[in-house]
Amino acid sequence: MPEEQSQTIMAVDELQAIVQRCQILEEADFKGEDFNLFQVAGQKCLEDGYAAQLLEVIQNEKNKVIIKNMGWNLISPLVRCIFMYKQEDDKREHCLKILDQLAELCNPKELFLSLLEQIEQTSGEQVCQTVMLLLQPLQTVLLKLQNKKAYSVGLSLAMIMNQLTPLPVPYTKQQIEEDKLGLCQCCNAVVDFAKPFVNELVKNMEKSSEYNDMELKEELLKFCMKSLKYPLLTAQLEQLEGIEEHPFRHFATEIVDILWDIKELIPLVFLRHKDRSPHWENQEFAEMEQKNSADSLACLSYLIFVQHLGIACFPVVFSPSYLLQCNMTHIEVLLKRTEESMLSKGLDLFESCLLRMEDDSLLHQYLEFRTFINVPQDLVKVMTLCPIEHLRKKSLNILQLFIDKFDAEGKYTLFRCLLKTSNHAGVEGYIIKNIKDQIHSSLTKACDNVWFTGHHLISLLDLVLMLPEGAETDLLQHSDRIMASLNLLRYLVIKDCESDNQTGVWTTLPKIERNFLKPLHVGLNMSKAHYEAEIKNKKENRKEAHSSNTVCSVTVGGEKMPAMTTEMQLQVLHSALFTFDLIESVLARVEELIEVKIKAVMDEHS
Amino acid sequence: MRKRCRPHRRDGQAEPPMEREHRGGARRPGRLGWRGRAGALGARRRRQLFVWNPGRVAGGDLPGHSSLLRRSRGGKVRPLRVLPSLSLPRVPSREPPGICHVKFPFGAGKFPVRGLCKETMTTDEAAKGEGEVQAVALAERGEDITPARDRGVLKIIKRPGSEDESPMIGDKVYVHYKGKLANGKKFDSSRDRNEPFVFSLGKGQVIKAWDIGVATMKKGEICYLLCKPEYAYGSAGSAPKIPSNATLFFEVELLDFKGEDLFEDGGIIRRIKRKGEGYSNPNEGATVEIHLEGFCGGTRFDCKDVKFVVGEGEDHDIPIGIDKALEKMQRGEHCVLYLGPRYGFGETGKAKYGIQANAELVYEVTLKSFEKAKESWEMDTKEKLEQAAIVKQKGTMYFKEGKYLQAVIQYGKIVSWLEMEYGLSEKESKASDSFLLAAFLNLAMCYLKLREYAKAVECCDKALGLDQDNEKGLYRRGEARLLMNEFELAKCDFQRVLEVNPQNKAAKSQISVCQKKTKEHNERDRRIYANMFAKFAERDAKEAASKTRVKTAAEKPACEKGPETPGAKDEEAEGHV
């Protein structure tokens, strides 16, 4: 024990010794050796738990010059010590005080580097803690910096955000409340950290726009863009019940406010700002930058138009079509992603833009913008391939909204496009149902609609009333589409008399019979015979099948599905037969209707 | 190679007539002509008609109504006179949009009365804030400025403009404005943002009422606009500020406007006289039919109908600026284009038209029709290779004539067609690589001529990616880097040239130039790179570069006088295929 004590005292003594020696020296006369001795002694004091004594040394007025020059050396051991002690430990308190003192006393440039170094070196679970610990001194130091302040602020923010980026973003309510790694808290602390610089910029902007301020503006802008991409793009930003101050919503609000304050919000949302960022000599960097900013801008639009952040000061004179057009690029970016957080943001943004519009008000010319053709196709991908059910459902609703907003020609073009590109019988069936609805409203409403009657309609019907591969088409796979087509045809022959022939269906009937009804008959007969034979086969081989020799296995989402029993296989085969029966009955009904009508007309003539 | 311009309509049917410019207006049934019947009587009759006309659809914009009631109760003197008139919208959901509330948007408590009583209004007029009175007057005396004459947008000029000129379609217009709802609630003001609002006129960027209204204004004018929901946000409203079926009131000041700066470099300014149809534009390589008239210094030097391929206007003595602008025009558009020298006939001028060097030109162009060129993804490999040979020849022709911008377009096509082409047979792949190599090398040369050195380096990099020991690629990259003041890198390139071909004297002399330059800048560099802030270093270097660029540009001719003249080199590149 005494030995240990003497050791510590030695550490403090050593520190005192070096300090006393330096007290008499001029600033310029400090040698590298002195720096080393000071650091070693200081570190030893800290390690041995004599933070209080160290604090005294630092606070001593006589040591001011020494601390100014050498203090930054202590940051690294100090941070280590602070994490060693428990929250309520007195020694921790001393250490924190030392940190404050150093921020006040040290040469800002040196200390700045040493603080950044600490942030750079932390990793994993300690990142948020370290950042939050050092933000305050970092801010103090930055505010004191004379030169290259804007650059240093930017460097700090970039470093911090880079360190945070690998951390997982809490998504569920529980995760947000728990905030295991402290990310929620940390993000908001970072915004607070940035605030004085924003204020400074705003103040300067009011006075004049000097080059130096442009620099600070660029840096803050970069920080905002980065924050929009991470964590905001991946974060859950809906209001959550039971959480009063949703940390990410708060963070998002602050970011939008900063953008507003530095007068970048509206340009970001509305101006395609090419060549704004400094020219990258390297093409790859430029592309990366562009891709990053596409994500960030998409997130920003989501915040403004869906979450209504910052909307209070947003111009309210833009036309809804223009808002949709501006947002289409962002929607496209988001819908191409597979993460739930981004897909749902994309769908929400799309929905909110569409809800601003009146039905039938979107001009078909907008389809000349490539995004207006691409996005519905992406939407179809979401609704057919996305594993998350509520997103699939939502995307279907949005597709309907999108269709509703177009004028007749737009709807017509969109239907053609989707029929050709969706490659999914369910979607095709859905489009065909929509075509039926449009024909219905054309026939029942007084307004003349050239797009869903007459020759335009006929060319659309050519796409609908046919089998993709003739009689060999897999009827089971295409059953949705075939049923919808038959329903449409049934509707047409009931609704439109041969004498009127408003839709033109009677003119094209021979073609329909050739391309659709006849091959469908053949296909049905073949399929039924095939499946019936298969059933018979299965039943006969039932016993043998028990000694299962599975030909292949099916995996879904990486999991191997259990092999089907013969019973299950029979069930499937039977349900297929049932579908064929259903198709056949509707087909029979349609043919009957056609026959009756034609006969009626012939009777009339004779 | 060509195809119809509307890719989505594959049935090849005839285009429908375009008549949807102002749909909102056109869809509404024609209304009685109220224009010219000003005065209280007219207004009252109008009001009644609206109320009793069951055909009118108007959502119940009740906030305005109820707040009006509240206010009138607060007013001490005149509630009795108010209430009878308030009984007008007795059928609340049939309340006419626009007329009833809009009479009162700006008043405080006692305000509503004035609008309803002509006699008091005239006496009050002087005492009240101007805006309030104008708001009332709008509904009664405002001029209907809608093309459909349906009173959807009413306008009163508060302060006439200082100049007689109005903005044209596509112009960038600067306005200050404030907007209020019928209940008097301000929903937006550019003055609160302390920044003028900027938009492109007549492009559907803003609500219809604005595209119509601002187009009628003169520079410096302040006016009031009263906008029916059909010309604003309609039944959908605009969350969160504009409710469904809201009539909006605006005060707009037209601060300034200017022609559209097509490439944001001031080189081509466009002012549209007649808007085109739709949103699709000719692309590079599209065949266009245009009518054009060219002016220089007030005299017309050219007037013709011409059909040509975008990017090859030069063949018809049409400057590159027209090609570039055409890519932003729509079918049927008629516009005036102001071309800076770079986009005009440049430093050489045009003797044929008697145009001097560096002349500014004005063109009036009508895009009569166009057929888009196939996009890269629409062509198969065979087609691309065939076309590549053609455009390469064209590019070389332009290069020899010193028309580098045009040459870049042609060589650029090869890159866009072939750079990302996959699944080629061995033979095709060989041909493709050789086209690409030639294209990159020639592009690099063009960019050197155009003094776009970063782009030149990029092209060389790509050429060297295909053939890492390509002598011309290395030499040109060296040249570009030297001109960018990257002496060390330049020296490396020239040394590599010598490794490939020890006989290259030009490279030898370039190396000594590099060494000289390096020495000059050594001291400076040492200081810069010693700094840990690498970014600052870069910035400083750039500053230095811009300072010395003038110097190097002066030395440039000397660099070109190598034994291998650039022109000769280019022809050699051509021989690659």
Residue-wise pLDDT tens digits, B222-242? 999 999 999 999 999 998 899
Instruction: Name which of A155, A305, A319 to mutate to probe chain B: the one with the most chain B Cβ atoms within 10 A of its Cβ.
Output: A319
Instruction: Tell me if residue B177 is catalytic.
Output: yes
Q: Quick one: B89 exposed, middle or buried, by C-beta within 10 A (0-12, 13-18, 19+)? A: buried
Q: Are B350 and B285 in contact (CB under 8 A)?
A: no
SS3 state of residue B187: strand
Mean pLDDT of chain A: 87
**Confidence (pLDDT) at A449:** 80
Q: Is B111 one of the annotated active-site residues of the chain?
A: no
pLDDT tens track for B431-486 = 999 999 999 999 999 999 988 999 999 999 999 999 999 999 999 999 999 998 88
Task: Find out whether B286 and B310 touch, Cβ atoms under 8 Å.
Answer: yes
Q: Give B-chain residues touching A458 at CB under 8 angstroms.
A: none
B197 with A361: Cβ contact below 8 A: no
* pLDDT tens digits, A490-518: 999 998 888 888 888 888 899 999 999 99
User: A214 CB near a chain B CB, below 8 Å?
Assistant: no
Query: Between chains, do A417 and B197 touch, taking CB under 8 Å as contact?
Result: no
Contact at 8 Å (CB) between A262 and A195?
Answer: no
pLDDT number for residue A87:
82
Question: Between residues 103 and 162 of chain A, which touch chain B (CB distance below 8 Å)?
Answer: 148, 151
Q: How confident is the model at residue B15 (pLDDT cuts 50, 70, 90)?
A: very low
Q: How confident is the model at residue A343 (pLDDT cuts 50, 70, 90)?
A: very high
Within the 378-437 window of chain A, which residues sit less than 8 Å (CB to CB) from chain B?
Answer: 407, 409, 413, 416-417
Which H or E run includes B173?
Answer: strand B172-181
Do the strands B172-181 and B197-200 form a parallel or antiparallel pair, or are they unpaired? antiparallel
Test A407 with B23 for CB contact under 8 angstroms: yes
* pLDDT tens digits, A513-548: 999 999 999 999 999 999 999 999 888 877 665 555
User: Do residue B238 and residue A319 have CB atoms under 8 angstroms apart?
Assistant: no
Tell me which of B4, B6, B9, B370 to substitute to probe the interface with A (most A C-beta atoms closer than 10 Å).
Answer: B9
Look at residue A123 in the predicted model and tell me its pLDDT: 86
B233 classed as catalytic: yes
Is residue A295 within 8 Å of residue A289, measured between CB atoms?
no
Q: Chain B within 8 Å of A276 (Cβ-Cβ)?
A: no
CB contact under 8 A, B536 and A313: no
Query: Which residue in B207, B320, B355, B528 is the catalytic one?
Result: B207
Q: How far is B113 from chain A (nearest CA, A)?
A: 30
Q: Report the alpha-carbon distance of residue A580 to residue B66 in Å, rounded.
A: 62
Q: Which of A233-247, A464-478, B40-54 has the lowest mean pLDDT?
A: B40-54
**A446 touching B, CB under 8 A?**
no
Nearest to B142 by CA among B35, B254, B251: B35
Q: Which of the two residues, B558 and B425, has the higher pLDDT score? A: B425
The yes-or-no verdict on residue A272 having pLDDT over 60 is no
Evaluated on CA atoms A105, A106, A112, A114, the torsion sign reads negative
Does A367 contact B8 at a Cβ distance shorter than 8 Å? yes
B52 versus A534: which is more confidently predicted?
A534
Average pLDDT, chain B: 75
* CA nearest neighbour of B445 among B410, B480, B469, B470: B480
* Residue B163: predicted pLDDT: 85
Give the separation between CA A131 and CA B189, rounded to whole angstroms.
40
pLDDT at A335 (0 to 100): 96
Minimal CA–CA distance to A459: which of A494, A435, A490?
A435
| Average pLDDT rounded to a whole number, residues B335-355 | 91
Q: Tell me if residue B250 is catalytic.
A: yes
pLDDT at position A450, please? 86
pLDDT, residue A116, reads 94
Is B224 among the residues known to form the active site?
no
A316–B187: do the CB atoms touch at under 8 Å? yes
Three-state SS string over A162-208 comes to HHHCCCCCCCCHHHHHHCCCCHHHHHHHHHHHHHHHHHHHHHHHHHC
Quick check: is B207 catalytic? yes
Question: Do the chains contact at A459 and B20, CB–CB below 8 Å?
Answer: no
Give the pLDDT of residue A558. 66
With a cut of 60, say whether residue B18 has pLDDT above it. no
- As a dihedral over the C-alpha atoms of residue A514, residue A518, residue A520, residue A524, rounded to 10 degrees, the angle is -160
Partner-chain contact A358 B235, CB within 8 Å:
yes
Predicted local distance difference test score (pLDDT) of residue A482 = 95
Distance CA B28, CA A65 (A): 82
Query: pLDDT per residue over B156-188, tens digit each?
Result: 999 999 888 899 999 999 999 999 998 889 999
Task: Determine which of A209-218, A439-448, B25-34 has the lowest per-residue pLDDT on average.
Answer: B25-34
**Which chain B residues are Cβ-neighbours of A455 within 8 angstroms?**
13
Q: A260 to chain B nearest CA, in Å?
A: 10
Chain CA centroid to CA B260, Å: 6
pLDDT digits (tens, 9 = 90+) for B66-106: 333 333 333 333 333 333 333 333 333 333 333 333 333 34
Mean pLDDT of A233-245: 88
Nearest-Cα distance to chain B for A156, in Å, is: 13
Residues of A in contact with B205 (CB under 8 A): 318-319, 322
Cβ-based contacts of A452 with chain B (< 8 Å): none
Chain B hits for A404, CB-CB cut-off 8 Å, are: none
A117, A181 Cβ separation under 8 angstroms: no
**Of residues B350, B328, B427, B338, the one with CA closest to residue B381:** B427
The answer to whether A322 contacts B279, with C-beta atoms less than 8 Å apart, is no
